[in-house]
Every structure is written in C-alpha cells, then in structure tokens.
C-alpha cells in the first residue's frame, strides 16, 4: 500500500512539473519579448506604457521585423508606409520604406503614433481601435450613437477584426507588464 502511494505521488509530481514546464513554454511562445531596449527607450521618450508597446508588437507581428500585411503594413508594429512617412515628418527624421523593417526605427515610429493617438483619444480601447482601423474610422464610430454613447469611448466595435485585435492587446498587457519589469 505504501509503495502504491509513493508511485502515485511520483506520478502527480511528474505531471505537475511537466504542466509547469508546458505552461512556461506556451507563455514564451505566445508572449515573446524582443527589442526590450527600444521598447523601453521610446516608451519613456513618448510617455507610453511599455507593456502597451510590447502588446501591440505581439498582436501586430509576433515580434517579426519582416512582417508585411496583405494591406501593406510593414514591420514589427505594422505601420502603413503613408502613415510612417507622415510620422517621420512629424519627428523630423529621414524616411525610407525599407527603414520600416528595422526594429528600432519601427518601434520609434509606432510608439510615437501610439502617443499621438493617446493624446487624441485618451481611452486605451479607442486608441487601439484607431491604431488598427484608422483614426478617421474610429472618429466616425465615436460620432455615431450606435457605437458610442458619450463620444469618447466605444461601446460597440463594429469591425470584428478590430474587436479581436483590441481584446488580444488588452489581454496581454498584464503579461508584458511582468516581462518588462
């Protein structure tokens, strides 16, 4: 009887250890962190939460500098070339489309854009919707009582892709807060 209890204990401990290992592996795969220095530098420079920047990068490209969307958005933070050119002009820095594949440059522009959207919209969900769907589209949602009761927050996100994107970013904020301590 004692031998059976010992075997059961060993099996349970083994299952627990394997479970913890798998949990950590899945966390690493689902929530990677790269380019930490650039994320921290530009988050501080533009006063944006570093966990928000990392969460956006994860949702946009899974930290892949070579990512290009079907609509033409480029790099880690999936910035459209026209938006990137406008951002570079506002920052008074040189713009070349190929720079968008460089992690530091892309994070600088993307973080600046998040700061711009935060100053314009204030609410994080609205900021994320604007980052994903475009600020003009989101301004239209805010002006429509069907989507926003107060004109400042969004009650209903009419694009399912934007709703899923926003939820993904918001869900990963706490994880990236811990990873970026």
The answer to whether residues 131 and 114 touch, using CB atoms and an 8 Å cutoff, is yes
DSSP 79: B
Burial of 20 (0-12, 13-18, 19+ CB in 10 A): exposed
Alpha-carbon 166 to chain mean position: 9
Of the candidates 124, 164, 159, 123, the residue with the CA atom closest to the CA atom of residue 141: 159
Catalytic: which of 37, 45, 49, 60? 60
Of the candidates 34, 55, 52, the residue with the CA atom closest to the CA atom of residue 43: 52
Return d(Cα 156, Cα 48) in angstroms, integer.
25
- 97 a catalytic residue: no
The answer to whether residues 38 and 46 touch, using CB atoms and an 8 Å cutoff, is no
Active site residues: 60
């Amino acid at each position: 009887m004692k031998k059976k209890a010992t075997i059961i204990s060993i099996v349970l401990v083994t299952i627990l250890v394997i479970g913890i290992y798998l949990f950590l592996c899945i966390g690493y795969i689902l929530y990677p962190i790269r380019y930490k220095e650039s994320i921290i530098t530009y988050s501080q420079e533009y006063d944006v939460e570093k966990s928000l920047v990392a969460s956006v990068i994860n949702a946009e490209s899974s930290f892949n500098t070579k990512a290009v969307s079907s609509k033409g958005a480029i790099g880690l933070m999936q910035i459209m070339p026209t938006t990137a050119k406008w951002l570079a002009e506002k920052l008074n820095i040189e713009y070349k489309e190929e720079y968008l594949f460089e992690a530091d440059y892309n994070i600088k522009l993307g973080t600046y854009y998040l700061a711009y959207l935060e100053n314009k919209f204030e609410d994080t969900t609205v900021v994320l919707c604007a980052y994903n769907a475009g600020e003009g589209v989101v301004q239209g949602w805010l002006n429509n009582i069907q989507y926003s009761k107060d004109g400042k927050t969004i009650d209903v996100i009419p694009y399912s892709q934007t709703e899923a994107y926003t939820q993904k970013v918001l869900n990963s904020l706490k994880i990236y807060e811990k990873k970026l301590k």
